[in-house]
Homo-oligomer: A and B are copies of this chain.
Amino acid sequence: MISIFSGCRIKSGMTGLGLFTTASHLEKSPVSSDYPRNGHLEGFLVVSRTKFEGIFSLNMESELEMRRIKGLLIDLDGVLVKGKAMKPFPDAADFVALLRDEHIPFRIVTNNSTKTPEGIVRRLQENGIPILSQEIVSPLSICPQVLQERGVETLFVMGSDGLKEYLAANGFLVKTEATVDAVLVAQDRTLSFQETKIAITAIKSHGAALFAMNDNRVILDDDGMVFPGAGAICRMLIYAADYEGHYVHFGKMGERYNQTVFEEFHQDKATLAIISDDLYTDITGFQEEGLMGIFITSGKYGVDDISTGMKPDAIFDSLSEVAVFLINR
């Protein structure tokens, strides 16, 4: 069975047309030389190594780049799982199994600031995705040491109760008033007038330093609406308090976070790719670090959100499509 397939797009947002085949009778046999070329498009017949099948299109330049992939950074929310309940996407477990089968090293790189790595692992395992906690790089694993190094003892936290308990367990005094060494901003569904008031007063009147768990713009809520990420909340606090200090965050693109991630791979950054639904920090950010950027549209952003200056190396609508690409390189 052969049919037109248009779910996969190439650099600059162009829609790539290609062939889709169940192809159960074929065995990993690229037929690019037989397939009519259309400008920058190039087609591949694709055969499932595990449960994946389909076809993708990439321009030649991207294809050559993407063939180099020797390791993957995989975003968690919007890629492997969805929403507050961390419900896995249907192809997430198979995708992880494929990576293990193919010996493609990977790390789950999350900006999640509400759960410990162990908590994330538990939730993933309950949902049929076997991940080890050392395969996760999370702001919570970065945060305590950096705060200690900077002499922070008391904190006002805009974040979840879970985070507050974690910080208390790590020796910090979490206060509910403005007389603190530092304000720490995390994902915060309880964002309130009173909270912002304490935070700004702490920074402006008590000289508190400002830290954030990540630099996120938005979080996609279960109802399809978006709410402000820690980065957005920090922009409010910085302008309000005219904060002139160095704003430090523990998430992706943060100095310590990236250092930790890249120590995990003993490979040239140019052979690594990030798979993410976040066009800003993840795709553009890691591309600036030298990685390839695979944008996946299953999360908070769509192709329409690709603005000037953003150039994902590839765009896929699901992990199945990424899998198809990987096993047919």
Contact = CB atoms under 8 A, between A and B. Distances in A.
B193 A205 contact: no
Contacts of A244: 307
B233 A193 contact: no
A242 B218 CA distance: 10
A204 B191 contact: no
Interface in A207-249: 217-218, 221, 225-229, 231-233, 235-242, 244
Nearest to A232: B240
B204 A218 contact: yes
A192 interface: yes
Contacts of A200: 218, 225-228, 232
B225 A240 contact: no
B201 A196 contact: no
Contact of A228 (B188, B196, B221, B232): B196
B205 A226 contact: yes
Interface residues of A, number: 36
A155 to B, nearest CB: 18
Contacts of A192: 191-193
Given A192-B192, A200-B227, A233-B236, 19 more contacts: A190-B193, A191-B191, A191-B193, A192-B193, A193-B227, A197-B221, A197-B225, A204-B226, A205-B225, A218-B240, A218-B241, A231-B239, A232-B236, A235-B235, A235-B236, A235-B238, A235-B239, A236-B236, A242-B280
Interface of A: 178, 188-193, 196-198, 200-201, 204-205, 217-218, 221, 225-229, 231-233, 235-242, 244, 280, 307
Nearest to A189: B193
Contact of A225 (B189, B191, B201, B217): B201
Nearest to A239: B235
A205 B204 CA distance: 33
Contacts of A188: 193
Nearest to A197: B227
A10 B178 CA distance: 31
Contacts of A229: 240
A201 B226 contact: yes
25 contacts: A188-B193, A189-B193, A191-B191, A191-B192, A191-B196, A192-B192, A193-B227, A196-B227, A197-B221, A197-B226, A197-B227, A197-B228, A200-B218, A200-B226, A200-B227, A201-B226, A217-B239, A217-B240, A217-B241, A228-B240, A231-B239, A235-B238, A242-B280, A242-B307, A244-B307
Nearest to A308: B244
User: 10 shortest A-B CB distances, which residue pairs?
Assistant: A236-B236, A232-B240, A235-B239, A201-B225, A197-B227, A235-B235, A191-B193, A228-B240, A232-B239, A232-B236
